């Protein structure tokens, strides 16, 4: 499959991610920038945005924004809006969970399985076939690292293929997740002064709010439709301090940048505020399935 390499000529050397080495955030960073990208592991998404915005600490960041099963990560939209970062790309990553053990450990040796609560939940159909103690941890990759460091012969971890490679673990059972069509969408963020121009962009992420009069949102949506642009996502957020008034986040898919700019000019005339978070290549057309 085609690899997302539109930024190879200006590839950042170091990007901030949420989680630990071996996490799905690192998998996404590698798929966008290449395997030699260096990651800065952050405890929170707020730290990701903070470090990504700091020129002295990083060249950008990768941040999960939504999952095909769990839905949108709403606080991250707010972090994006408050930041000065620009969306320069996206990665749709198929989430594949694997049962990892130290070399030589067999299925019958396992007594405990460690992982993040969400990963355990995603794999319950497989796990319930065995009489194992399930131990919840803060991160899938951290669980794999823990198994490796302790040289455990009775513990297993649920984590990514990358975690197995980084911590010299065997994949005893691959793809143990119940829902096979499980994707997480990640946004690739950079400071405007360091972001390289995007060749042939066909997607934009915007934020706007109207005067909230009757039909105001409908007028905006009509302009988008008449411009021949696909509205692939629309998310509403309360405006802090307002009387139930809302901001709207939207993802727009188009064929040419001229088409987008024509629509943008008209929408700005119908809104009280309009912000473009970034114009980039549609990652949904380049889904990779090697996590």
- Looking at residue 290, its pLDDT comes to 46
| Domains, the chain, with CATH or none | 11-95+182-195 (3.40.190.10), 98-173 (3.40.190.10), 203-283 (3.30.70.260)
- Looking at residue 136, its pLDDT comes to 97
Distance CA 24, CA 37 (A): 14
Q: Given the residues 184, 208, 210, 277, select the one marked as catalytic.
A: 184
The strand ranges marked E within the chain are: 14-18, 38-42, 61-67, 71-72, 86-94, 98-101, 112-115, 133-136, 155-159, 170-173, 183-190, 203-209, 230-238, 246-253, 273-280
CA proximity to 15, closest of 33, 69, 45, 3: 33
- Looking at residue 196, its pLDDT comes to 84
Q: Given the residues 24, 32, 186, 208, select the one marked as catalytic.
A: 186
Query: For the segment 86-145, what is each residue's pLDDT rounded down to a tens digit?
Result: 999 999 999 999 999 999 999 999 999 999 999 999 999 999 999 999 999 999 999 999
Residue ranges in the chain modelled with pLDDT below 70: 1-12, 285-291
- 275: β partners: 207
- Looking at residue 8, its pLDDT comes to 44
186 assigned to active site: yes
184 assigned to active site: yes
């Amino acid at each position: 499959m085609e690899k997302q390499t539109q930024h190879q000529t200006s590839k950042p050397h170091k990007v901030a991610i949420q989680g630990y080495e071996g996490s799905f955030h690192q998998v996404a960073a590698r798929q966008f920038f290449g395997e030699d990208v260096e990651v800065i592991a952050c405890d929170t998404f707020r730290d990701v945005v903070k470090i990504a915005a700091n020129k002295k600490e990083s060249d950008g960041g990768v941040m999960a924004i939504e999952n095909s099963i769990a839905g949108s990560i709403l606080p991250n939209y707010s972090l994006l809006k408050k930041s000065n970062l620009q969306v320069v790309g996206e990665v749709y990553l198929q989430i594949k969970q694997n049962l990892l053990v130290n070399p030589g450990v067999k299925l019958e040796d396992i007594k405990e399985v460690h992982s993040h609560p969400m990963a355990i939940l995603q794999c319950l159909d497989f796990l319930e076939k065995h009489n194992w103690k399930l131990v919840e941890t803060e991160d899938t990759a951290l669980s794999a690292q823990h198994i490796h460091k302790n040289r455990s012969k009775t513990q297993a971890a649920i984590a990514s293929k990358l975690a197995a490679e980084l911590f010299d673990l065997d994949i005893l059972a691959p793809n143990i997740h119940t829902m096979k069509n499980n994707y997480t969408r990640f946004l690739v963020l950079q400071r405007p002064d360091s972001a390289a121009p995007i060749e042939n962009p066909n997607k934009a992420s915007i934020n706007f709010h109207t005067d909230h009069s009757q039909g105001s949102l409908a007028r905006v949506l009509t302009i988008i439709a008449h411009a021949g642009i696909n509205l692939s996502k629309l998310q509403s957020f309360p405006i802090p301090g307002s009387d139930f008034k809302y901001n709207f986040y939207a993802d727009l898919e188009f064929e040419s940048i001229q088409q987008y700019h024509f629509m943008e000019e008209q929408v700005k005339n119908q809104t009280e505020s309009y912000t473009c978070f970034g114009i980039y290549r549609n990652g949904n057309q380049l889904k990779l399935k090697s996590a």
